Amino acid sequence: DIQMTQSPSSLSASVGDRVTITCRASQSISSYLNWYQQKPGKAPKLLIYAASSLQSGVPSRFSGSGSGTEFTLTISSLQPEDFATYYCQQSYSTPSYTFGQGTKLEIK
Amino acid sequence: QVQLVQSGAEVKKPGASVKVSCKASGYTFTSYGISWVRQAPGQGLEWMGWISAYNGNTNYAQKLQGRVTMTTDTSTSTAYMELRSLRFDDTAVYYCARDYYLGVRGRNWFDPWGQGTLVTVSS
């Protein structure tokens, strides 16, 4: 099974900060990596698919990069509504999937 | 708009079974699969399994093999997830999600998600 590891597990930042979250795969997954945002009490929401493609309607301050085993999600200028938990997901082994353990982004 | 609407919260005793439904609208149901994901209180996302709405093929997470069954009813565009022999640690919010597929193997992602169904296992 492919394991996904996110770092950090939690992160404190301020409005306007640039933030980067890293996701590492236990083997190469090419660019088959998706990112989701989840707010408390809500279902996850797709942000980025195929490592770097922005889902329709998602603000351009979100971006994704990487391939192989290392990937990043960057928020260029944090907004109050961005404080949430972020998950990466590999789709390389479809229809079997794995999520990272999540990164909780909190207000400093 | 594309939407998945799940059934309501359930409370079950240990050893019982639960069946959660997920009704799709706004797209051709048989064109995409459905994945089920659960989230225990305060924990991360755990993928449970996938079903093709086209032909009913399934793929279950190894840890749930033998306890979970996923089915679809194409006449009502509804997917179902049944979990048997419930344990206390099955207490979680259960989500269905459309497994969107771009036509290339691996180009899959989950969008949209249902609103979630809380299943509580309590004696």
Cα B44 to Cα A37, B21, B32: the distances in Å are 12, 22, 25
Chain B residues close to A38, C-beta within 8 Å: 45
CA B37/CA B79 separation, integer angstroms: 13
Consecutive 10-residue averages of pLDDT for chain B (123 residues):
98 98 98 97 98 96 97 98 98 98 87 98 98
| % of chain A residues with pLDDT over 90 | 98
pLDDT at A81 exceeding the cut of 90: yes
Chain A closest CA to B28's CA: distance in Å? 19
Q: CB–CB of B46 and A99 under 8 A?
A: yes
pLDDT category of residue A48 using cuts at 50, 70 and 90: very high
Whole-number pLDDT of residue B106:
80
Q: Calculate mean pLDDT across residues A30-49.
A: 97
Burial class (CB in 10 A: 0-12, 13-18, 19+), A2: middle
* CB of A58 closer than 8 Å to CB of A49: no
Whole-number pLDDT of residue A22:
98
Chain B residues close to A43, C-beta within 8 Å: 95, 112-116
Chain A closest CA to B59's CA: distance in Å? 7
Radius of gyration of chain A, Cα coordinates, nearest whole angstrom: 13
